[in-house]
Structure 1
Amino acid sequence: MPIQCAPGVQVLGTCTAEHAEILTVEAQRFVATLHRCFNGRRKELLHRRVMRQYEIDAGQLPDFLPQTANIRDDPTWQGAPPAPGLVDRRVEITGPVDRKMVINALNSGASCFMADFEDSNAPTWANNMDGQVNLRDANRRTIVFNAPNGKQYRLGPENQLATLLVRPRGWHMEEKHLMVDGEPASASLFDFGLYFFHNARQSLAAGIGPYFYLPKMESHLEARLWNDAFNLAQDMLSIPRGTIRATVLIETITAAFEMEEIIYELRQHSSGLNCGRWDYIFSFIKKFRNHPDKVLPNRVDVTMASPFMDSYVRLLIKTCHKRGVHAMGGMAAQIPIKGDPAANEAALAKVRADKQREAIAGHDGSWVAHPALVGIAMEQYNKYMPQCNQLFKRREDVSVSAADLLNINFPGSITEEGVRGNLNVALAYMESWLSGVGCVPIHNLMEDAATAEISRSQLWQWVRHNARTSNGRVITKEWVAQCLEEEVAKFRSQLGEAKFSASKFDLAKRLLAGTISGGDYSDFLTTLCYDHVVAAGAGPRM
């Protein structure tokens, strides 16, 4: 339907009547103000990332910042106290913002639900706008989903619902369906701004507040930008500063060296840090991709016991508890395996062990990807964390150096199976993402973009440095290209010619081939693929 636009704003995506209720002139003006105030700084910070990569390529490895030592050494400052609904976060479920998922997650029995516009959401215009509608209806408690089979999904009792948090897209993304003064809006400010504008007061009326997860930051200056955006947003709606709370995912290697500074920048808005472990592995590979001594083995060999991963977790827990905020654990990506009781029990046993390890280490909560895992994770946290959180565990025994955060001295190997597995997962995920689905069950794991990022980045790194498999085969771009063709042929055989032709596998193959050959490297698959999910030929709605 036609959309009236605020001055300087163009809406290039096709809108339904419900979308129009989100994209009011006032809401557009709100997002445009955020964009005009902060997009210049956003671009500067993205340029700083590029410059930092040049430094790392030249051998200047990350270290704790000498210019912010006073922040780390000052024992007096603290983050914000836990906000209502965020005192006990022992199990958080995450997933995309589609309507059925939102209802099931809020009803799952988890402490919190992180509704995701980022890595588990393919950012089509319809997905993004439908997601905003779904979250508005969830906050109003009016959300209902009528399935094609006639089953109806609705929210359960108020006192049993998970606390809602929202993850906007990272600073590197743009929203090309909404233009402000002739340029695409920052996707971060678009997602955050629309949600906050429509739901801040509603969430406060429910006794909680507007809560967020912030992804993929690489420095405390990027956290400062978020904090300034929060202050302006609250001021514009006459909501007290400090009402917003945000948990930062530490999922880049450079951010790991700036954890205290990140909490400091957000302190009145901080609700802690989270171990975004899959993206953290991706970041490690990406940042050190040109260093032959930093080549990682198969993904399955990179565990939480690996020295660089263990050090990062211990430092995160110590840092958060020192500053009085939550230290959240990582994702259990397993999903129930139907028809194979032994395999299913083995998968669930991994979840139990993972959550037990986290709770004993001192985490205040953790993530699961499927409602069936909520009870298993809850059982472990209830056993090892009977109180609301573990903020009292200061972990003053922990001492982590820069060398510890970069230590990859652990057993592991590169195998042909690992090469083919990376190709298979990257293809399967990219095809789904390009088709509009960003949360994908692959090999009994619920995967998001981080999985594909690890897969293609490892392939790039292995080719770049002529890594050898455990049986001595050199990983060349020619061999990987041959393996890619063979993996595509497997999908063609599995699907049949008609379904394969209707799929996005040929496009996924073409895009993947260009970023695994050891030459040009795209910082993010999501930016590489984004133009292919932008609505073709969309014109402005006046």
Structure 2
Amino acid sequence: MTSITRTTAPDPRHDEILTPDALAFLARLHDQFAHRRQERLEARMSARTAIENGRDLRFLPETRAIRENTEWRVAGPGPGLEDRRVEITGPTDRKMTVNALNSGAKAWLADLEDATSPTWANIVGGQLNLRDAIRGEIDFATPEGREYRVTATETPTIIMRPRGWHLVEKHLCHTDRAGHRRPASASLTDFGLYLFHNAHALIAGGRGPYFYLPKLENHLEARLWDDVFTWSESALGLAHGTIRATILIETISAAFEMDEILYELRDHAAGLNAGRWDYIFSLIKNHRDRGRSFVLPDRDRITMTVPFMRAYTELLVQTCHKRGAHAIGGMSAFIPNRRDPEATERALAKVAEDKRREAGDGFDGTWVAHPDLIDTARAEFDAVLGDRPNQVDRQRPEVSVSARELLDLSTIEKTVTDAGVRANVSVALRYIESWLRGVGAAAIDGLMEDAATAEISRSQLWQWIHQGVVTEEGTRITRAHVEHELHEVLRMLDRSLDDRYDDAENILRQVALEDGFPTFLTIPAYAHYLVETAPAREPLAA
């Protein structure tokens, strides 16, 4: 007998999501795909080792025919996805859900991944909030009595982002046919519960079940997702191709397989997104031991106009439009400060410049992390798109990007400063502490930060230490120096009795200061969540 069982005590509303039928569907998903997921994760390790040992990424010779075939196209946008010029991103807590639906954006990336700290309450609560929102039953009241309700006549199309293949959901346990018990796949859990409860309601409302797929590293991982989609559509009585996916190109290896990723998902693909921060993290992670040529400067100096980032985005737009897919631009995470209008005006000018570049390059839409940025972003895309919903017809035949250009850091000015080191320590520590308290989208130094920011920060610290980088001021970056900066940051913090800075400090040491390099900081950090064991209960058989 196969089953999915809970390892947590009951919660008043969790049974509305964790129904016997929903858990049985999850069990069947795991029976079909859990083993293949594990195979893909093992293949990641092999590929990463090859890069560490000196093998440069390349466009795959064995898939050349797919890239050179000009005939095939993807399914493209489903109902409600034709115009995506501004998408707001954010976690699925109840207040954010209401604010996102009222925001005026064309779409909402409802995030169970990098902007959500995966406490069990957040994960199941997020599913409840999405279910209520899709049925028009969402509202929110603060302890002070302030009420939030959806008042917009036209709400954004919801695009849900599940957690990546590398993560588990330890509050659910999968028992396979051989009797082996393992934590459930976080990806299959997030996807399966959302699809099971909402697909038919979304279709009845004139839209559909749409997903952002994070952290894919190659086209074989895309093939796995496509098989998950096809199997799930059949199991739930949905027409083939009902599900639509936008794939985040946020790993360096995926940048070399954009055509192939779209091809594998062609019956379900709507577009690609330039996940800029995770992309930079992936480049550092995979090349951290490859010498000084792969060292990057202070994080705020890595702009979208540096050559290797420019090559990445130009190739993404060209690839998408060649295949009839949307190209969605990167995040603007600035938080407007009404108490400092001059600083806000300067920041909004930078946001406008960034979105003007994206729209001019051919992107069909973009991301913002705060509702107050929507008008600024929309104005830049309106100026280019006019009344058109997108600019997929702009093919960009003049773009030609080589493998060398995607990896060429030789022209980048690589200044690292004492302030850059201190900023990475501070941001990583404060974000991890927020994450441990259950807040995955954290306001830090005027920006809305998620896990990608902490990943860049800690990976740069690790690389700078191991490559013996010297700052512009003449400071050699060593473990001792970073320890000193960590001590200073901790000393300056406004501590409270219930903060999680002690745990955050230990995690930061583990992921940035030890010889080993965890592939994602959220994996060791997740160990700090306790599982509340439920009374024994009968498993739900598939």
Q: What residue number does 1:467 align with?
A: 469
Q: CA deviation at 1:538?
A: 5.0
Structure 1 Cα separation of the partners of residues 530 and 66 of structure 2: 43
Q: What residue number does 2:145 align with?
A: 150
Secondary structure of the residue that 2:90 maps to in structure 1? strand
Contact 1:108 1:371 in 2 (8 A): yes
Structure 1 Cα separation of the partners of residues 489 and 149 of structure 2: 41
Contact 1:430 1:452 in 2 (8 A): yes
Q: CA deviation at 1:338?
A: 3.1
- Equivalences for 1:138-537 in 2 at 5 Å? 138-158=133-153, 160-181=154-175, 182-292=181-291, 293-386=293-386, 387-408=388-409, 409-491=411-493, 494-495=494-495, 499=496, 501-517=497-513, 519-537=515-533
Alignment RMSD, CA only? Answer: 1.2
Structure 1 Cα separation of the partners of residues 77 and 173 of structure 2: 37
Contact 1:425 1:452 in 2 (8 A): yes
Q: CA deviation at 1:540?
A: 4.9
Provide closer, same or farther for how the CA distance between residues 529 and 538 of structure 1 changes in structure 2, counting only shifts above 3 A. Answer: farther
Q: What residue number does 2:6 align with?
A: 11
Q: What residue number does 1:98 align with?
A: 93
Contact 1:11 1:540 in 2 (8 A): no
Structure 2 Cα separation of the partners of residues 524 and 325 of structure 1: 29
Contact 2:110 2:158 in 1 (8 A): yes
Q: CA deviation at 1:15?
A: 3.0
Contact 2:272 2:316 in 1 (8 A): yes
Q: CA deviation at 1:191?
A: 0.1
Question: Can you list the C-alpha shifts for 1:455-478, whole angstroms capped at 9, x where unaligned?
Answer: 000000000111110122211111
Q: What residue number does 2:74 align with?
A: 79
Contact 1:176 1:534 in 2 (8 A): no
Secondary structure of the residue that 2:513 maps to in structure 1? coil
Q: Which amino acid aligns with 2:200?
A: R
Secondary structure of the residue that 1:475 maps to in structure 2? coil
Structure 1 Cα separation of the partners of residues 502 and 283 of structure 2: 29
Contact 1:175 1:190 in 2 (8 A): yes
Q: CA deviation at 1:516?
A: 1.5
Structure 1 Cα separation of the partners of residues 204 and 122 of structure 2: 27
Q: Which amino acid aligns with 2:392?
A: L
Question: Can you list the C-alpha shifts for 1:215-261, whole angstroms capped at 9, x where unaligned?
Answer: 00000000000000001111001111100000000000000000000
Q: CA deviation at 1:518?
A: 5.4
Q: CA deviation at 1:157?
A: 4.2
Contact 2:101 2:156 in 1 (8 A): yes
Question: Can you list the C-alpha shifts for 1:105-134, whole angstroms capped at 9, x where unaligned?
Answer: 011000000100000000000000000000
Out of 18, 43, 51, the residue aligned to residue 48 of structure 1 is: 43
Structure 1 Cα separation of the partners of residues 533 and 59 of structure 2: 47
Secondary structure of the residue that 2:367 maps to in structure 1? strand
Secondary structure of the residue that 2:110 maps to in structure 1? strand
Structure 1 Cα separation of the partners of residues 511 and 212 of structure 2: 29
Structure 2 Cα separation of the partners of residues 246 and 43 of structure 1: 22
Q: Which amino acid aligns with 1:237?
A: L
Provide closer, same or farther for how the CA distance between residues 321 and 308 of structure 1 changes in structure 2, counting only shifts above 3 A. Answer: same
Contact 1:464 1:517 in 2 (8 A): no
Structure 1 Cα separation of the partners of residues 458 and 212 of structure 2: 26
Secondary structure of the residue that 2:267 maps to in structure 1? helix
Larger deviation: 422-431 or 43-52? 43-52
Q: What residue number does 2:178 align with?
A: none
Contact 2:295 2:414 in 1 (8 A): no
Structure 1 Cα separation of the partners of residues 184 and 536 of structure 2: 14
Provide closer, same or farther for how the CA distance between residues 539 and 297 of structure 1 changes in structure 2, counting only shifts above 3 A. Answer: farther
Q: CA deviation at 1:151?
A: 2.0
Q: CA deviation at 1:412?
A: 3.5
Secondary structure of the residue that 1:258 maps to in structure 2? helix
Larger deviation: 320-329 or 148-157? 148-157
Provide closer, same or farther for how the CA distance between residues 322 and 27 of structure 1 changes in structure 2, counting only shifts above 3 A. Answer: same
Q: Which runs of 5+ in 1 are unaligned?
A: 1-5
Provide closer, same or farther for how the CA distance between residues 207 and 419 of structure 1 changes in structure 2, counting only shifts above 3 A. Answer: same
Structure 2 Cα separation of the partners of residues 536 and 296 of structure 1: 42
Secondary structure of the residue that 2:37 maps to in structure 1? helix
Q: Which amino acid aligns with 2:395?
A: R
Structure 1 Cα separation of the partners of residues 10 and 281 of structure 2: 35
Secondary structure of the residue that 1:267 maps to in structure 2? coil
Provide closer, same or farther for how the CA distance between residues 157 and 57 of structure 1 changes in structure 2, counting only shifts above 3 A. Answer: closer
Contact 2:2 2:31 in 1 (8 A): no
Secondary structure of the residue that 1:515 maps to in structure 2? helix
Identity of aligned residues (%): 51
Contact 2:249 2:274 in 1 (8 A): yes
Q: CA deviation at 1:539?
A: 5.3
Out of 37, 40, 46, the residue aligned to residue 32 of structure 2 is: 37
Structure 2 Cα separation of the partners of residues 244 and 540 of structure 1: 36
Q: CA deviation at 1:517?
A: 2.1
Contact 2:76 2:326 in 1 (8 A): no
Q: CA deviation at 1:511?
A: 1.0
Q: How does the TM-score come out when normalised to structure 1?
A: 0.96
Secondary structure of the residue that 2:473 maps to in structure 1? coil
- Equivalences for 1:119-138 in 2 at 5 Å? 119-138=114-133
Q: Which runs of 5+ in 2 are unaligned?
A: 176-180
Structure 2 Cα separation of the partners of residues 172 and 541 of structure 1: 28
Q: What residue number does 1:20 align with?
A: 15
Q: CA deviation at 1:14?
A: 2.8
Contact 2:101 2:152 in 1 (8 A): no
Q: CA deviation at 1:297?
A: 0.7
Q: Which amino acid aligns with 1:198?
A: H
Secondary structure of the residue that 1:514 maps to in structure 2? helix
Q: What residue number does 2:62 align with?
A: 67
